[in-house]
Structure 1
Amino acid sequence: MRVSVNFARFSAVALAAFVACVVPMPGASTLQAQDTRLAAEAQFRDWLTQTVWPDAQKQGVSRETFERNVAAIGLDWDLPELQPPGQAAPPDDQRQAEFQSPGRYFAQAQLASLAKSGRDLLQRWASVLDGIERRYGVPREIIVAIWGRESQFGRVTARHQALRVLATQAFMGRRRALYYPELLAALVILEEDHFSGETLLSSWAGAMGQPQLLPSKFLRYAVDADADGRRDVWHSVPDSLASIANYLREHGWKPDLRWGFEASLPQAVSCTLEGPRQGRPMLEWLRLGPTPAAGGTSPEWNGNATAFLVMPAGRLGPAFLVSENFYVLKQYNESDLYALFIGHLADRMRGASAFTGSWQPIDTLRRGQIQALQERLKSQGYDVGKVDGLVGFATRTAIGQWQSKSGRDETCFPDAALVQALR
């Protein structure tokens, strides 16, 4: 498709300005790096006009909106997980060189601070939350907990321009296929919601506003709760809170069903019973022996309702019995630890105490070591889920099954000895 004169002229000016800003440095490698960047910038301009514009037009984006917001953007070379044209892909463990203890996710100082601020904000926004709770059926503490976790209740302001982030990642990021639809969705937001490109601020990963929604999620779940004609999740607290609630409801949140509770798990109950594939009625779980941990919150759902065992650190950390709403929380962020953090923070706002069980020290393992362990277990017929170097529930249960079969104590969590034994 022919590029408009204005856009072509702007592209040339922008590229010339980029060249003028390059400070010459001695050394062949530096000059080569500069040449690589200049070549990538030129390819980026061609890609915007020849690939992105036709697809954006199919999504209903006007030429005026596209040129106004895209013509001036350049690549953001400071973002992680980039793979410039002609270069090898970065390793998957670039941003997670070592697998850390799950217990670090639950820093008590942070939880106490968020809980205190959350209780204050529950009072401040009580009338707004009353209406949101009635409409969506999601407890206000859960909504405010997500708000606090994602953006410190709106206090942390993203500094990245979402369009630049998404365009860079879609053009030369390791996960191009994920980011390209998000780039198009951001352009649709600019067209339909009449925001400026400067308004769409995001994290380095493109998550926007106080609820940290990716553009496609914004289009589907963002709500204009204050009725000002805009779904402004950057500046409007009512819009942000209602958008979180709408997201959870649309993903199946069940009103009047608590997320779960910390449980005391007898040694006779195997840690290999963990995970979303092994749900059973709460009464059946209680007959097996798990009980609410001392000081914990007892279940508030029907004994015939399905519950699931969750042990993010295996026997090296607390255990939990959770409802289906726990897995709705995981739809917001695909992480057991995240869902536990939100549920626990919501409970802390209601006055609950810290976890009773302790997070024990774990061996520091590199992601590559975990992936090799997964491949070895898979070759022996164990279901480890995705071979990705992350210790998810399937990998934890596979480890426990291998330990049991090998006559070892079940911990359902990897350590250095296990890595050595499975080489």
Structure 2
Amino acid sequence: MTLRVALVLSLSLLTGPALGQDRVDVEQQFRAWLEQTVWPRARAEGVTRATFDTALGGVALDWDLPDLFPPGTSGQTPQRQHQAEFNSPADYFSRGAVEGAAAVGRQMASRHAATLDAVEQATGVPGRIILAIWGRESGYGRVPIPNDAFEVLGTRGFMGARPDYFTDELIAALRIVEGGSVAAGDMRSSWAGALGQPQFMPSSVLDFAADGDGDGQADIWNSDADTIASIGNYLSRHGWVKGRDWGFEVTVPSSVSCSLEGPDQGRPIAEWEGMGIRRIGGRAFPEHEQQAEGFLLMPAGRHGPAFLVTPNFYVLKDYNTSDLYALFVGHVGDRIQYGSGDFAASWDDVGGLVRSDVAAMQRALETLGHDVGGADGLPGFKTRRSIGRWQEASGRSPTCFPELDLVQDLVR
């Protein structure tokens, strides 16, 4: 029996209020977990006792983090969450966020032109894309990184929703300190445990952090050049295709079903064009893109802009799995380099749903045989197109986006 299982069993009769009164006891169990589970693994990975004690000796549980399930609790507490990914996608593209990231990005493009050019030559990743990620993740290094990484990772490893994952990341964080590139006290992270200006998880720091200023260290906390090089290295090693764009805003006629969306339904861009899809503004698709594979992306279904995206869009999704994140990065990058404006199509005021509503729809669609990608409450492309296919099968005009009336019809 593992220590974690034993702890859960030993406190299984505690109620919520009682657990609140026993935080001191849980903290003691946390210390035992660090010693009996984390330390042996860290030692096997080459971490010294001195590093372990410096990093974790004074760490306590952060009870303010979300999605915590202390020993003695079971299951997940339902959360009624409102987020852009399943509420109104327009919220993700607020004018202030987009214009601010683009304006500062243009300043950074001038300031770091030599580094950006060198990284683009080495990796094939355009500087505008690197800048847009940097801006989104940390405001070009201007946004404070508030949390003690070891406190966050330790708490999530001990009693978070994904304990195995965060325990692995805790070990990776110890290895970073052992390597000497950053002191334990300087390991600041987000509430999710992401580190430095590019917001890498610790394992990604070990795998992808790069030295962009030639000082022999990959310092993603304090070095702009290292941050730029690290983002470029990450995208390159995740398969960025040199010379291809990320995607193009398009119009999609009603004769083309929104259920054709997804990275598993690609076809040459010229073929999409033959089906009636047109690039916004009447511009032609670049000649070198014509015979290359493209994929339909409709992040709000028929309620917002549509795009033909390239494999590079899905490389951006390797950085952050949200469709809207990848779209934000591509869009801000274009505004940085080309001065382009808003999307031509507007986002409808859709939404009003919470995550549990979307999850209920997903479970209903699964019962009908649809692959929604899991009933997680997040309307990714599999959920969107499943909605469209169900709408088509039931004689409705497909919109491919979760809406309140669809919840009421699906979930009975």
TM-score, normalised with respect to structure 2: 0.92
Mapped to 1, the partners of 2:197 and 2:124 lie a distance apart of: 21
Contact 1:89 1:174 in 2 (8 A): no
Contact 1:272 1:398 in 2 (8 A): yes
Q: Find the partner of 2:223 among 224, 236, 242.
A: 236
- Specify the alignment match of 2:272 in structure 1: 285
Question: What amino acid is the match of 1:354?
Answer: D
Distance apart, 1:93 and its partner CA = 2.9
Distance apart, 1:279 and its partner CA = 0.2
Question: What amino acid is the match of 1:189?
Answer: I
Q: Find the partner of 2:22 among 36, 44, 51.
A: 36
Distance 1:335 1:186, change over 3 A: same
Distance apart, 1:249 and its partner CA = 0.2
Distance 1:301 1:200, change over 3 A: farther
- Specify the alignment match of 1:198 in structure 2: 185
Distance apart, 1:109 and its partner CA = 2.1
Q: Find the partner of 1:371 among 359, 362, 365.
A: 359
> Aligned ranges for residues 241-256 of structure 1 at < 5 Å?
241-256=228-243
Which structure 1 segments of 5+ residues have no match? 1-28
Q: Find the partner of 1:390 among 351, 374, 378.
A: 378
Partner secondary structure for residue 170 of structure 1: helix
Question: What amino acid is the match of 1:56?
Answer: A
Which structure 2 segments of 5+ residues have no match? 1-14
Mapped to 2, the partners of 1:293 and 1:240 lie a distance apart of: 34
- Specify the alignment match of 2:4 in structure 1: none
Distance 1:300 1:213, change over 3 A: farther
Distance apart, 1:81 and its partner CA = 1.0
Moved more, 265-274 or 380-389: 380-389
Question: What amino acid is the match of 1:326?
Answer: F
- Specify the alignment match of 2:146 in structure 1: 159
Partner secondary structure for residue 198 of structure 1: helix
For residues 66-106 of structure 1, give each alpha carbon's deviation from its aligned partner in whole angstroms, at most 9, with x where no partner exists: 11221111111111111111123443536548931111111
Distance 1:92 1:128, change over 3 A: farther
- Specify the alignment match of 1:18 in structure 2: none
- Specify the alignment match of 1:320 in structure 2: 307
2:38 maps to 1:52 = yes
Distance apart, 1:301 and its partner CA = 3.4
Q: Find the partner of 2:72 among 80, 86, 92.
A: 86
Mapped to 2, the partners of 1:223 and 1:300 lie a distance apart of: 34
Mapped to 1, the partners of 2:110 and 2:161 lie a distance apart of: 43
Distance 1:416 1:46, change over 3 A: same
Mapped to 1, the partners of 2:110 and 2:255 lie a distance apart of: 44
Distance apart, 1:363 and its partner CA = 3.7
Question: What amino acid is the match of 1:421?
Answer: D
Mapped to 2, the partners of 1:96 and 1:170 lie a distance apart of: 26
Question: What amino acid is the match of 2:259?
Answer: T
2:123 maps to 1:142 = no
- Specify the alignment match of 2:5 in structure 1: none
- Specify the alignment match of 1:264 in structure 2: 251
Contact 1:193 1:231 in 2 (8 A): no
Distance apart, 1:156 and its partner CA = 0.4
Question: What amino acid is the match of 1:360?
Answer: D
Distance apart, 1:108 and its partner CA = 1.6
Distance 1:249 1:31, change over 3 A: closer
- Specify the alignment match of 2:49 in structure 1: 63
Contact 2:181 2:219 in 1 (8 A): no
Contact 2:124 2:241 in 1 (8 A): yes
Partner secondary structure for residue 301 of structure 1: helix
In the alignment of these two chains, the number of paired residues is 395
Contact 2:81 2:355 in 1 (8 A): no
Mapped to 2, the partners of 1:386 and 1:33 lie a distance apart of: 32
2:197 maps to 1:222 = no
Mapped to 1, the partners of 2:313 and 2:275 lie a distance apart of: 21
- Specify the alignment match of 1:125 in structure 2: 112
Contact 1:161 1:197 in 2 (8 A): no
Distance 1:299 1:385, change over 3 A: farther
Contact 1:169 1:176 in 2 (8 A): yes
Distance apart, 1:50 and its partner CA = 0.8
Q: Find the partner of 2:157 among 170, 174, 180.
A: 170
Distance apart, 1:380 and its partner CA = 1.2
Partner secondary structure for residue 414 of structure 1: coil
Distance apart, 1:195 and its partner CA = 2.0
Distance 1:78 1:141, change over 3 A: same
Q: Find the partner of 2:402 among 368, 393, 414.
A: 414
For residues 257-314 of structure 1, give each alpha carbon's deviation from its aligned partner in whole angstroms, at most 9, with x where no partner exists: 0000100111111101101110000110100011111287844633111000000000
Considering Cα pairs closer than 8 Å and 6+ residues apart, tell me whether 1 or 2 has the greater RCO.
Answer: 2
Mapped to 2, the partners of 1:119 and 1:295 lie a distance apart of: 27
**CA RMSD in angstroms, aligned pairs only:** 1.8
For residues 303-358 of structure 1, give each alpha carbon's deviation from its aligned partner in whole angstroms, at most 9, with x where no partner exists: 11100000000000110000000000000000110110000001111211110001
